[in-house]
């Protein structure tokens, strides 16, 4: 790495941190806008991890004009972070253009990827597009029948990121969900820190996004990994302390308001595991919807393990009790039919 590259990396980190502080200030001053949105530019994935219910092997990329229209709508709603997810977002042939569009609207741009498609040239293109944050979840040290997202396969990709990325990289280790060796998470986390990345640990949910209590070995690994965490918005995960011990978390889920999940059909859902609520077209989503969902109780919240939704919820934990009962699936189904 040249001296010029290191200077640019530090400069980008400093300016990114300033924009993150502005995001926090805006969120504290106003509750009437989404803090974070996850958007799906393509549902297809090049892997097939057995615990994942967020992919297929046939979907086509969403056309660029359609995605840009959705990005513009999110920006108009005041969204401060937009993260591309999937499927595998790097399978979208025009992802760089979409990331640049996010940044042109003054929004922080993130991406969640399995990392398989990263090359030096691809990372440089992500730099040029203005990507701010990238996260890879690594499930084990050696690939197995549960997941091919292993440290053995991805370590060279991590080295590419360490050498070329100007954006923040977080490596997420996982526990639960059929992962055979909990201690693998420790090796993954230590490797992430060696390469200069941040490290987090996630607890894999079931197919409804709900808690599967950790075993004794998994809890021991979880507690040790908490010491790896550095100051960054992705480390806002105190809710996991309760989850790791099989206890319901006490919090107010603001999904549908402060956090939005936009599926490939352009519908707004609470999260990846609660697709169908409220399932209203983003093009028709308004501040009235945000205010309603902000106050709506979510029956799935106590056992939820979806970290990004929890992290956003911290911003409003101290204010505004929720007074609207949890939605019923029959009501959500009406929105699904309308949206399609």
Which helix (H) or strand (E) is 259 found in, with range?
A: strand 259-262
With contact defined as beta carbons under 8 Å apart, do 163 and 120 qualify?
yes
For residue 84, say if its preceding peptide bond is cis, omega within 30 degrees of 0: no
Structure tokens at 127: 């730099």
Which helix (H) or strand (E) is 293 found in, with range?
A: helix 287-294
Per-residue pLDDT band at 220 (split at 50, 70, 90): confident
Radius of gyration of the chain (CA): 19
> pLDDT digit string (tens) for 62-88?
999 999 999 999 999 999 999 999 999
What is the average per-residue pLDDT within 218-231?
74
With contact defined as beta carbons under 8 Å apart, do 61 and 42 qualify?
yes
> pLDDT digit string (tens) for 19-74?
999 999 999 999 999 999 999 999 999 999 888 889 999 999 999 999 999 999 99
d(CA 133, CA 142): 26
Q: First and final CA of the chain: distance in angstroms?
A: 49
Q: Nearest Cα to 57, choosing from 68, 66, 48?
A: 48
- Res 240: pLDDT: 61
With contact defined as beta carbons under 8 Å apart, do 122 and 89 qualify?
no
Burial degree of 329 (CB within 10 A; 0-12, 13-18, 19+)? exposed
- Is it the case that residue 234 has pLDDT exceeding 50? no
pLDDT averaged over the chain? Answer: 88
List Cβ neighbours of 308 (8 Å cut-off, separation of 6 or more): 36, 38, 83, 259, 271
Domains of the chain: 132-247 (3.30.750)
Structure tokens at 263: 């599926």
């Amino acid at each position: 790495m040249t001296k010029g590259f290191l200077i640019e990396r530090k400069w980008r980190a400093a300016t990114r941190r300033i924009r993150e502080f502005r995001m926090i200030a805006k969120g504290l001053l106003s509750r009437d806008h989404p803090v974070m949105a996850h958007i799906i530019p393509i549902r297809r994935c090049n892997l097939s991890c057995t615990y994942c219910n967020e992919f297929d092997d046939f979907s086509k990329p969403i056309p660029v004009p359609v995605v840009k229209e959705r990005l513009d709508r999110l920006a108009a709603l005041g969204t401060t972070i937009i993260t591309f997810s999937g499927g595998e977002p790097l399978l979208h042939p025009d992802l760089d253009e979409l990331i640049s569009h996010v940044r042109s609207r003054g929004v922080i741009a993130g991406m969640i990827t399995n990392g398989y498609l990263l090359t030096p040239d691809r990372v440089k293109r992500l730099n040029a597009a203005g990507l701010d944050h990238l996260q890879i979840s690594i499930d084990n040290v050696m690939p197995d029948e549960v997941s091919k997202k292993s440290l053995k396969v991805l370590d060279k990709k991590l080295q590419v990121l360490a050498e070329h990325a100007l954006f923040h990289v977080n490596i997420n280790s996982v526990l639960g969900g059929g992962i055979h060796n909990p201690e693998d998470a420790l090796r993954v986390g230590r490797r992430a820190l060696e390469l200069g990345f941040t490290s987090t640990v996630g607890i894999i949910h079931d197919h409804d996004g709900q808690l599967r209590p950790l075993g004794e070995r998994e809890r021991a690994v979880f507690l040790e990994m908490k010491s790896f965490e550095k100051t960054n918005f992705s480390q806002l995960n105190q809710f996991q302390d309760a989850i790791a011990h099989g206890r319901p978390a006490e919090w107010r889920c603001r999904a549908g308001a402060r956090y939005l999940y936009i599926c490939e059909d352009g519908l707004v859902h609470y999260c990846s595991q609660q697709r169908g609520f409220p399932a209203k077209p983003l093009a028709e989503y308004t501040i009235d919807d945000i205010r309603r969902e902000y106050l709506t109780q979510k029956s799935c919240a106590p056992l939820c393990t979806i970290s990004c939704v929890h992290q956003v919820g911290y911003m409003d934990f101290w204010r505004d009790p929720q007074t609207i009962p949890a939605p019923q699936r029959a009501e959500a189904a009406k929105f699904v039919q309308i949206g399609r």
